[in-house]
Amino acid sequence: METTMIEGATLPAKTHMPDDDLALVQAVRDGDVAAFEQLVKRYDAKLLRIAQNVTHNSEDAEEAVQEAFFKAYQKLDQFQGHAKFSTWLVRIALNESFMKMRKRRGILEQSIDSNTFSDSDGARLPFDVADWAPNPEAQYRATELREILVSSLQRLTSALKIVFVLRDIEEYSISETSEILTLSATAVKTRLSRARLQLREELSKYFKQPQ
């Protein structure tokens, strides 16, 4: 599957999750190390994209993914199967990514299990903010636009950025994003609207304006 790279972020094509993760997980529990290697191959690229889009640092992203797989292997007995294995794995990778950001930047970045992601957002903003379409006249400035987009993503709060990354970059559904972050669909929609509005405000001069 083709993946589009931009400087500091990765935009994937839509993928379909395999349905035999639980069989591989059980095989690992039974001592089959090769089964875990299959899980690593299955999710390595996806986790690396997510970590890169959260940290905007290749070295941190690679380390976060390695540590996520190591912790997943160590704590495999804690996976109860109530959620998808991929959901559980993505949550671990997200937490590792935020830990890397905290260490590098020296500022407080909350874990996705913290109150930062509590279901407390109001529903005052419109949920369906229109996606943007690049203005043809601005295509020649694509490099500058990518740099501005990455910079803008970095200025989003962790709570807004991760919803935007999962929903608009990784193309998870609202329900899948809700499950990963343990948020209601309303909270996900509200945060996605806020993230889109904040980004659109900064990028508005590069996009087609309403007639």
Taking phi over 0 as left and psi of -120 to 50 as alpha, with beta for the rest, 56 belongs to left
For residue 81, give the DSSP letter. Answer: S
Please write the tens of the pLDDT for every residue from 9-22: 444 444 434 458 99
Listed residue (41, 21, 27) closest to 84, CA to CA: 21
What is the model's pLDDT at position 192?
Answer: 95
Tally: H helices and E strands in the chain: 8, 2
- Spans of the chain, pLDDT less than 70: 1-19, 105-143, 145, 205-211
- What residue type is assigned to position 171 of the chain? E
d(CA 139, CA 58): 26
Instruction: Find the DSSP H helices in 134-181.
Output: 142-155, 158-164, 174-181
Please write the tens of the pLDDT for every residue from 153-180: 888 888 999 999 999 989 999 999 999 9
Show the domains of the chain with their CATH numbers.
Answer: 3-105 (1.10.1740.10), 115-206 (1.10.10.10)
Coil, helix or strand at residue 207: strand
Q: Is the pTM of this model over 0.75?
A: no
Contact 112, 91 (CB under 8 A): yes
What is the model's pLDDT at position 147?
Answer: 76
